Structures are given as structure tokens and as C-alpha cells.
């Protein structure tokens, strides 16, 4: 399963040219299999971008989320296990959203697709794929 970081989700939907060719192929392959996951906190992050005027979704956030889920993406929620993992992550910067996203990937044994340098450089066993590849 591939877990999309928030920016990777936005790139896949609105700026696919920012994704590397390998990443585009992986997303297409895994989407068709129902193996693309979105961390629930990504919808919060997109909502914050919209409220700050940094992103225009052109549709309502609820409608966009529903369309993604109806289109085959899986939403992975923050439960107690994810929350505890996020609190216990050693060596990862303190950004709460990044911690929840990394913990979600770990809890679900997913590969995190991201271009976030801090997440890519983090020394941990978390399987990652650089979205720019």
C-alpha cells in the first residue's frame, strides 16, 4: 500500500507534472488495485491551506474527499495506536501533521510517498518513496 503525503496527494490530483515518472506509474498501478491510502490528517492540512488562501480546491473539501474515496482511495484514520506512535517517534521533527502521517504509514505497513526532505532524511525503518522520482 502507498500512503500519500499531503503535497503528494495534491500533486497527483492537480499538478501531476511535479511527480516523477516512477511515482506517477506507482500511483496509477496502486490506485487501480485499491492500494492508495490517504491519511485523514491530509484533509485537515488541505483545509488549512484553503482557509489561509494558499490553495484553491475549486470544489468543497467534503465533496473532494468523497470523490477520492469513491474513486478507490482508502482513508486511514488517526486512532489510538497512530496517536501513540506519533508521540513516540524518535528523531523526527515536531510538526504534528508529519508525525501523524509517518505514524499512519508505520501502523499500516505502508510505503510513504513524499518529497518532504525532513521525512526522507529521517533515520528510521519507515519505507519511503521520493515522489520526485
Q: Which domain holds residue 87?
A: 2-130
* Residue 106, SS3 per DSSP: helix
Cα 9 to chain center, whole Å? 6
DSSP string, 50-95: HHTTS---SS-HHHHHHHHHHTT-EEE---HHHHHHHHH-TT--S-
State the total domains in the chain.
1
Compute the distance between CA of residue 125 and CA of residue 24 in angstroms, rounded to an integer.
24
Compute the distance between CA of residue 6 and CA of residue 97 in angstroms, rounded to an integer.
9
Compute the distance between CA of residue 91 and CA of residue 123 in angstroms, rounded to an integer.
7
List pLDDT tens digits, range 94-123. Answer: 999 999 999 999 999 999 999 999 999 999
Reported pTM: 0.96
Phi and psi based region of residue 123 (left: phi greater than 0; alpha: psi -120 to 50; beta: remaining): beta
What's the pLDDT score for residue 103? 98
CATH number at residue 119: 3.40.50.1010
Query: Which residues sit opposite 3 in a β-bridge?
Result: 37, 112
List pLDDT tens digits, range 17-65. Answer: 999 999 999 999 999 999 999 999 999 999 999 999 999 999 999 999 9
Amino acid at each position: 500500500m502507498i500512503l500519500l503525503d499531503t503535497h503528494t496527494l495534491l500533486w497527483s490530483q492537480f499538478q501531476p507534472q511535479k511527480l516523477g515518472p516512477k511515482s506517477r506509474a506507482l500511483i496509477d498501478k496502486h490506485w487501480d488495485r485499491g492500494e492508495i491510502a490517504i491519511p485523514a490528517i491530509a484533509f485537515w492540512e488541505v483545509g488549512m491551506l484553503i482557509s489561509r488562501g494558499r490553495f484553491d480546491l475549486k470544489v468543497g473539501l467534503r465533496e473532494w474527499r468523497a470523490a477520492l474515496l469513491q474513486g478507490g482511495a482508502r482513508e486511514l484514520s488517526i486512532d489510538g495506536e497512530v496517536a501513540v506512535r506519533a508521540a513516540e517517534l524518535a528523531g523526527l521533527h515536531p510538526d504534528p501533521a508529519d508525525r501523524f502521517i509517518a505514524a499512519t504509514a508505520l501502523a499500516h505497513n505502508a510505503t510513504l510517498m513524499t518529497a518532504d526532505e525532513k521525512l526522507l532524511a529521517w533515520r528510521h525503518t519507515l519505507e519511503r518513496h521520493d515522489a520526485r522520482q
